Amino acid sequence: MSESSTIKEMLDVMSRNGWRITDQRKTLAQIFVSTDGYLSPKDVYDQMRAKYPGVSFDTVYRNLRMLSEMGVLEQFYFLEGGLKFKGSCLAHHHHHLICTNCEKTLTFDYCPMDESLHLPGNFKIVNHRFEIYGICEQCQESNLA
C-alpha cells in the first residue's frame, strides 16, 4: 500500500468517526506513515510543534489516544520506553512480537481469539490486543558476541 493511500485510509477512519480533517490531522497521519518504528507522545509533539508552534502537548496526546481507540494507531507500553504509538496496519488482522531491546516488531497471524473462549457472564468483546514481548534474533546474536 502506498504512503498516500495509507494516509487517505487513516483520514477516512477519522472522518467516519466524526472528525474534521484539518491540516494538523493530515500532518499527524503523515508522521506515522513516514515512520517505520514507534513514536512516543513527545516524539510526535516535537514533530508537530516544528510545523505548528502553538500546538499543545495535551492536544497531541489526546489525539494519539483517540486515534488509538479508533484503530488508526496501535499503542504499546515498553517497560523502559513508556507508552509509544505506531500506525496500524488497517489491511488485515494480526498480532505482534516485540523486541524489548531494539523495539523491532514482527507480525504474526495467529489470534488467540479464534480459540473457544469461555468468558464469565454475558461479556461482549468489542476489541482486543495480543502482544508478545521478548528479544529478537539479531539482539540475541549481538549479545553473544
Grid cell digits, residue 132:
508478545
Q: Which residue has the higher pLDDT, 73 or 129?
A: 73
Q: Which of 134, 127, 129 is nearest to 79 (CA)?
A: 134
Q: Which domain holds residue 12?
A: 3-87
Q: What is the pLDDT of residue 21?
A: 92
pLDDT digit string (tens) for 32-67?
988 877 899 999 999 999 999 999 999 999 999 999
Among 87, 105, 127, the domain-final residue is 87
Distances (CA, A) of 61 to 8, 57, 100, 129: 22, 6, 23, 20
pLDDT digit string (tens) for 60-119?
999 999 998 888 888 887 777 788 888 876 566 777 788 888 888 887 777 777 777 778
Same domain, 56 and 17: yes
